[in-house]
Structure 1
């Protein structure tokens, strides 16, 4: 969380995403080990959002689905998906657009409607890949989803928080400095060791 310390005094401190494993948790705090190896203790406020991420199949991506995909830009102008999140209908429109993302260096995030999908060129994807045309307000992107690319969705997890937020659980935490302390705003968590791929 050191990267947010310079903004802690501003009215709206920057948020950061931590991809981590829960080390310890109690009623007011959560300690995680970030993928870099850094151990961070966060305030666990009562209003913290919890979502459970779960696996889908590539075939669950349909024309008209609203998705988010972390991807790597390719030389031909397409994007190669690192993961695909199929949003539940209630979250349609969330974060619409195309922007930089921090899953890997130079990765991007596109949240958009699947306007079209066809089989990906076999020279690239082998058999079973998909070529998605994603449309959002400002434009469109072509995304290649290879076989084996993680495809997931999420559902509210607050009611099952005690079972989900346990030591060893893989999480993605959206956190922000509040009153000088790193505070968890939202946790996306996988059950039984399943890791959020985004």
Structure 2
């Protein structure tokens, strides 16, 4: 999500794994992906865990740092599929605009909320280092908060979004885990 631009041990892009934890054994999670594949993902000292909690559209305010998954609209703006609100200490994480794999033609834009218009629906400007995007926020769209977390969140039944490093031997090592808290399913 969101932290796709973190430094990785090698130059390979991270694998994005969305699913539900089936089991936890020592330093390995067994995850059933949303597509039904079962994967083992190792944890190590570099694995970072964050909690995903429900948020509200009112939290999308000027000056807040957010990530938004969106699809293009005919007028050149984007339509949000989900928004995740970062805590202040994570501002700058994954800054920019890039392709994303949540839906066909989707993108991820991480940046500061700039202009906010609420006259005919909700339209925001998301500003990042090299540009900005205009994003429509539809009613009912999922909004979540990223909060500090730890490995105690990693239990069977927990919904997760994992950025994992794929090693040359095919094994996966989690670098960043967004774990749904209290049954929340990370929408990113």
When normalised by structure 2's length, the TM-score is: 0.89
- Residues 139 and 179 from structure 1, CA distance in 2 versus in 1: closer, same or farther, beyond 3 angstroms? closer
Higher helix content, 1 or 2: 1
User: Which residue number corresponds to residue 145 of structure 1?
Assistant: 137
Q: How does 1:5-154 map to 2 (within 5 A)?
A: 11-119=10-118, 121=120, 129-154=121-146
SS in 2 for 1:76: coil
For the residues of structure 1 that align with 2:39 and 2:67, how far apart are their CA atoms? 27
User: Which residue number corresponds to residue 183 of structure 1?
Assistant: 173
State the 1:91 CA deviation.
1.0
Q: Tell me, yes or no, if the aligned pair for 2:15 and 2:166 is still in contact at 8 Å.
A: no
User: Which consecutive unaligned segments of at least 5 residues does structure 2 have?
Assistant: 1-8
User: Which residue number corresponds to residue 6 of structure 2?
Assistant: none
Number of aligned residues: 179
Deviation per CA, 1:137-194: give whole Å up to 9, x if none: 2222110101111111111212xx22x1111110001111236221111210012321
- Residues 120 and 190 from structure 1, CA distance in 2 versus in 1: closer, same or farther, beyond 3 angstroms? farther
SS in 1 for 2:182: helix
User: Which residue number corresponds to residue 185 of structure 2?
Assistant: 195
- Residues 134 and 11 from structure 1, CA distance in 2 versus in 1: closer, same or farther, beyond 3 angstroms? closer
Question: After the TM superposition, which segments of 4 or more aligned residues of structure 1 sit over 4 Å from their partners?
Answer: none
- Structure of greater Rg: 1
Superposed CA RMSD in Å reads: 1.6
When normalised by structure 1's length, the TM-score is: 0.85
